[in-house]
Structure 1
Amino acid sequence: MRRVFGIFSASTAIVVALSLIAAAGTAGLVIVLGEGLDELMAGRRLGAPWYFSAFGELLITTVATFLIPVVISHHTQELTEHHRTKLLKHYLSIGPLAVRNAGEGELVHAAMDSVERSVKYRSSFIGPAVSAVATPVLILCFIAFAIDPLSALLMLIPTALVPVVVLGFQQRFGSSNGEYRRAQGILSATFLDALRSLGMLKLNGGSQWMGKRIRQATERVRQQVMKLLARNQLILLVIDSSFAVLLLSSAALLAWWRAGTGAITPGAAMSLVILSFLMLAPVNYVGSFFYIGMTGKAAEKKLTEIAEIPMHRSMANPLHVDLRHRDLILDKVSASYDNEHHALSGVTWHFPAGSRTAIIGPSGSGKTTLLRVLQGQLEATGGSIRDAHQAMGSATLKANTAVVEQQATLFGLSLRENLLLGAPKAGDEDLIEVLQEVGMGSWLAQQPGGLDERLGESGARLSGGQAQRISLARALLAQRPILLLDEPTSALDVQTEEEVLQTLRAINRSTTVITVTHRLGLLADYDYVLVMDQGQLIQAGDREELLAAEGYLKEAMDGFRQRTAALHTSSPAQPGEEN
């Protein structure tokens, strides 16, 4: 956002200027009213010039007052979009590993709540606060030049105390906002964990445990909010007692004294008292919105800390490797989510270029973890991943892999925009060709919007199979040498599954395909099988060789065939039989 004098934005400067213009117009109107009172008390009629002056001052005040919220509203929208876009770009630039290390829940909270509070502070607080501090000075100038210089000089004394008192309380209570911000971050992270784990919590009876955690986090936030509100009320009380009473009583005494000595007219005395009220109103505004100021500064401090999170090394420039013609080699690879417990331990295998490899094993065996390491979303804590010539880090792995997850990730954008995420420079012909390749050509022909057809939030207008095939089309469009599939057909019906499998079988043999699956019946499409258990590779090799040898895969396939045979040989219930 463009700044003026390096302090605040141009919109804030406009708000300050309009606020001062409105204050000047109001002060001018009060002085004109005082002059009118003097004319009436002297028995003279008010002439046309007086009415023109009063109308002019009223018009200036009205227009300026009307424009202030318009400018603030426009500035709020612009600033919100700017900050959230900037924050999102920062999250993307530092990489998912840095986001995970910093705490996803806290960063989501920052993008929503902290940005909102910062924007309120910048657009709705700073401008009015600056004008509130400047307005008493402006009013004193009107008093000095239009009413009585001595009265203005004496009223300067209580006015000068206000910024000192306000800033003192701000420094005294500003540090307490850190506790509130941390409590909000913990609540957001806890709630995000609960949303991600709803199914698991329900199946494992953990709903009460998670509910207790959320209640505790909510209670901490409530306590911090109550502390902030209490301090805000204390500030209001101090401002009212130290400034309002003192200023109004001083103005009343000065008006009585100076009018009694004949130094000012009765109309000027009335104007002096009314203007003291105008000096008080902006300061009350600062007190009323002091909560926004405190929480806004805390939010800006948090956003500054996030902006200083460095880019993870996985986002560095990738190495140039040729994985279409070279094998991908894992040498004693280990990985951990918490740097304490190994999710992978000593995995060694090489994926021949253009091969088809299935990764199987019981739930929690490390299959998905291995896939995350291969796609550069989780760093290996031990061993190496390389081709025939050099080791590769997360950045190189990400540049050479395309991923299709169990649940297709689609956005509430057009079909074209969703596909271009995989290849931003692809043309419409490329998009149509890849859609036909995954069996979505006939569906596309039926859409009135064509490639501009909106998919709905998270692809809500698509069936599960359609969403999965579009996700696959996006991955193929990226033209990466390695395609990683995480249970790509687990949520599909039999017919849709077969359609997706036919698409996968037709993938060019220059692409290495690595698939995590629980479905043993799909292994016929794969050259190699890796069997994982407790983070270790317990069996690996050519599919036919493993099926012929004793071990997990042979036992699992024998059991699978027996269950299949039992289903085929079981006779259906005859009409009239009881089940």
Structure 2
Amino acid sequence: MPVTRPESAPERQNGHPGAQPGSKPGGRPAAHSGGHPGGRPGGHPAAAVPLDARVVGATPRARIAVPLALGWLQALALAGVLLLVGGALDGILAGEVPNASSVILMGALVVATAAAAAVSTVLVQRSKNSTERALRRLLVGQLFAVGPLALGRERTGSLVSTATASIDRASAYRAGFLGPIIASLTTPLLVLAVIAVAIDPLTAGLLLLLVPLIPLIIIGVQRAFRSSTGAYRRSAGQLSAAFLSAIQGLTTLTLNRAAARTGEDLRERGEQNRRRVMRLLAGNQVLILAVDAVFSLAMITGAAGLAVWRLGDGAITPGQAAALVLLSTLLTGPVDIVGQFFYIGMTGRNAERELSAAVAARPVSDSAAPAPAGSGGAAALELRGVTAGYERGQTVLSEYSLRIEPGERVVVTGPSGSGKSTLLTLAQGLLAPREGIVLVGGEPAGSSPARAALAVVEQTTFLFTGTVADNLRVAKPDASDDELWAALAAAELGEDLEQSPDGLATQVGESGLSISGGQAQRVAIARAFLRDASVLLLDEPTAQVDLRSERLITRALAKLAEGRTVVMVSHRPTSILAADKVVTLEATATASSHSAAADGSPSGPPQHPGHPHGRGARR
């Protein structure tokens, strides 16, 4: 049959507005590990988080210093041109013809000015691109290190906004803005030094009194717009998150007749965001015009008045007076960046804080304990005195111990919330225990050797947009087509793909929506075959499929389990009867286990010498 999603296939959870991406059906809460990307680790606002050294270090200081030096070179070269213009004016007034050396020098300085500006533009863009790459590597690496549980309460849209818009603004600020703005703020001092040396020290000293207005203006702008800029960033991030959530849950919204209501909500949010932006822009433009008019007018008219005064006293020549007025235009340069400070500077600083908060989240595997020496034969999976939970104060497993020997088939049962999936999460190293240790093959859970020993099939399978082959090669990138077909045949999916005209190139769609839920589960089983791991973790893999798919998946899992240690969360009687040991987690009392072969009932007395024990196991 063709590989398509039948209308009767159970719908797989793909997210909806307000949903928690890390949550599972059945009310299993997503975990939170003290912090998450998006700017609020531990519940504190991003603004309270100090800048992370890795975020700042994404732009080496040399990449800031070079544009700074080029800005100074550009200012000095242009000042030299204006001085030569003044000298030429004095020569013309004296009836002299400008000599060739002055003309050549003026041309060279013009070329130097243009070259410095061009080189600075190119270097700034390259530095910005390099910083973007470094920040993306940092953030993606942190997301992988933190793991899905710590990200469970973060909406996808917020993560996307952090990984795109925030990184773009942060790189534009540190790589493309800091060097030029420092150059602009310090250029007036260089120009005044030139005026003092080449024209008149007294005039330079008087103009120096106006220069402190520049940083005062910048500080005033920052304070005036700090709160409103932060509100805009939060509003834009929330709008982005809500929009992406709506797109992800579009099918659910349509089926529940909520699409129009959600669209209206997004329209209102967008309109509020637009109004907030326009208010900020209007206030910013008014401020820029006022500052430009006051400061620029004061500086240039002040310089002109001083030039007339000193010319009348005979302290400077007419050419020097003209050069003084022209040079005063260079003193107003910092005012031009007031607008840039709002657009790039303030949003960039907020973006850096947001990124710092994102990379401050603690990886859940940090507390994994090393394997104790001399522990004898390594169990396939072992929990020793494990206490674990998600939210602060919420304990799911308390002083819990379990040992599963290589080759055993273990079924984990228990009421909803008793800790079944938590046990598998601990085994994968996605959640670190508060106390105790978790070992996989004698290695700490979450370590590379431990993860190499695991293959996992969840209730719902995530498939990447692409082909079936793309999704299979996630498990084994160098797998040949023959290996892929063999894995698909073992997973009872080979016949379906053979009937598809595209075969391995069949597109699975966004999150696997182009194929059925049962087919998606069998793709996950095929991936597990390719992994060829020694320990297989199964979290109710047939819970959300139809009866035909359940039969195929059960048959495929039976083949996959051959020669492997299997830990399965299940309530199915057939799974319990086929197990070597049944682990029953109880929400209010203790966990127990017994040999399923003894009486075939999950409620019988413990009969396995290594049965789990503990108190207060729940989830």
- Conservation of the 8 A alpha-carbon contact between 2:508 and 2:515: no
Aligned-pair CA distance for 1:508: 2.4
Which residue among 128, 140, 143 is the counterpart of 2:195?
A: 143
- Conservation of the 8 A alpha-carbon contact between 1:25 and 1:58: yes
* Mean Cα deviation higher: 351-360 or 148-157: 351-360
Partner of 2:350: 298
Aligned CA RMSD, in angstroms, stands at 5.7
Amino acid at match of 1:479: A
Aligned-pair CA distance for 1:207: 2.4
Give ranges in structure 1 of 5+ residues lacking alignment: 447-452, 548-579
Aligned runs of 1:66-85 on 2, under 5 Å?
66-85=118-137
Partner of 1:273: 325
- Conservation of the 8 A alpha-carbon contact between 1:109 and 1:188: yes
Partner of 1:51: 103
Query: Secondary structure of the residue that 1:49 maps to in structure 2?
Result: helix
- Conservation of the 8 A alpha-carbon contact between 2:542 and 2:550: no
Partner of 1:153: 205
Partner of 2:225: 173
- Conservation of the 8 A alpha-carbon contact between 1:315 and 1:394: no
Partner of 1:228: 280
Residues 484 and 18 of structure 1: CA distance in aligned 2, closer, same or farther (over 3 Å): same
Partner of 1:106: 158
Q: Does 1:283 align with 2:335?
A: yes
- Conservation of the 8 A alpha-carbon contact between 1:258 and 1:264: yes
Aligned runs of 1:17-28 on 2, under 5 Å?
17-28=69-80
| Structure-2 separation of matches of 1:435 and 1:454 | 13
Question: Which digits, 9 at most, give the CA deviation of each residue in 1:266-289, with x for residues without a partner?
Answer: 222221111112222342134344
Question: Which digits, 9 at most, give the CA deviation of each residue in 1:411-470, with x for residues without a partner?
Answer: 779979974x657xx9x5899767744449999xx9xxxxxx99999799x988699547
TM-score (norm 2): 0.66
Aligned runs of 1:375-524 on 2, under 5 Å?
401-405=454-458, 406-410=460-464, 419=473, 422=475, 436-439=486-489, 469=523, 472-473=526-527, 476-477=530-531, 479-484=533-538, 487=541, 501-502=555-556, 505-512=559-566, 514=568
Query: Secondary structure of the residue that 1:159 maps to in structure 2?
Result: coil
Amino acid at match of 1:481: V
Query: Secondary structure of the residue that 2:294 maps to in structure 1?
Result: helix
Amino acid at match of 2:64: T
| Structure-1 separation of matches of 2:265 and 2:175 | 35
Residues 3 and 102 of structure 1: CA distance in aligned 2, closer, same or farther (over 3 Å): closer
| Structure-2 separation of matches of 1:440 and 1:123 | 53
Residues 140 and 234 of structure 1: CA distance in aligned 2, closer, same or farther (over 3 Å): same
| Structure-2 separation of matches of 1:5 and 1:86 | 11
* Mean Cα deviation higher: 297-306 or 14-23: 297-306
Residues 432 and 35 of structure 1: CA distance in aligned 2, closer, same or farther (over 3 Å): farther
Amino acid at match of 2:456: V
Partner of 2:7: none
Partner of 1:564: none
Q: Does 1:245 align with 2:294?
A: no
Which structure would you say has the larger Rg?
A: 1
Aligned-pair CA distance for 1:83: 0.9
Aligned-pair CA distance for 1:78: 0.5
Partner of 2:145: 93
Aligned-pair CA distance for 1:365: 13
Residues 244 and 122 of structure 1: CA distance in aligned 2, closer, same or farther (over 3 Å): same
- Conservation of the 8 A alpha-carbon contact between 1:355 and 1:509: no
Residues 225 and 500 of structure 1: CA distance in aligned 2, closer, same or farther (over 3 Å): farther
Partner of 1:133: 185
Aligned-pair CA distance for 1:229: 2.5
Query: Secondary structure of the residue that 1:133 maps to in structure 2?
Result: helix
Residues 418 and 298 of structure 1: CA distance in aligned 2, closer, same or farther (over 3 Å): farther
Greater RCO, CA 8 A, separation 6+: 2
- Conservation of the 8 A alpha-carbon contact between 1:328 and 1:353: no
| Structure-1 separation of matches of 2:204 and 2:212 | 12
Amino acid at match of 1:137: L
| Structure-2 separation of matches of 1:154 and 1:75 | 38
Query: Secondary structure of the residue that 1:96 maps to in structure 2?
Result: coil
Query: Secondary structure of the residue that 2:568 maps to in structure 1?
Result: strand
Partner of 2:42: none
Aligned-pair CA distance for 1:55: 1.1
Amino acid at match of 1:482: L
Q: Does 1:311 align with 2:357?
A: no
- Conservation of the 8 A alpha-carbon contact between 1:95 and 1:311: yes
Amino acid at match of 2:563: R
Aligned-pair CA distance for 1:15: 0.7
Query: Secondary structure of the residue that 2:152 maps to in structure 1?
Result: helix
TM-score (norm 1): 0.70
Q: Percent identity?
A: 29
Question: Which digits, 9 at most, give the CA deviation of each residue in 1:38-71, with x for residues without a partner?
Answer: 2222222222112211111111011111111100
Partner of 1:124: 176
Partner of 2:13: none
Q: Does 1:198 align with 2:198?
A: no
| Structure-1 separation of matches of 2:142 and 2:542 | 30
Amino acid at match of 1:403: V
| Structure-2 separation of matches of 1:274 and 1:326 | 80
Residues 40 and 335 of structure 1: CA distance in aligned 2, closer, same or farther (over 3 Å): closer
- Conservation of the 8 A alpha-carbon contact between 1:159 and 1:243: no
Which residue among 67, 82, 92 is the counterpart of 1:15?
A: 67
Structure with more helix by fraction? 1
- Conservation of the 8 A alpha-carbon contact between 1:32 and 1:54: yes
* Number of aligned residues: 533
Partner of 2:616: none
Partner of 1:257: 309
Question: Which digits, 9 at most, give the CA deviation of each residue in 1:174-226, with x for residues without a partner?
Answer: 24433333333433433343344333222223324433553454455445434
Query: Secondary structure of the residue that 1:277 maps to in structure 2?
Result: helix
Give ranges in structure 2 of 5+ residues lacking alignment: 1-52, 499-504, 602-619
Amino acid at match of 2:564: S
Question: Which digits, 9 at most, give the CA deviation of each residue in 1:14-34, with x for residues without a partner?
Answer: 111111111111111111122
| Structure-2 separation of matches of 1:146 and 1:387 | 76
| Structure-2 separation of matches of 1:66 and 1:511 | 64
- Conservation of the 8 A alpha-carbon contact between 1:409 and 1:471: no
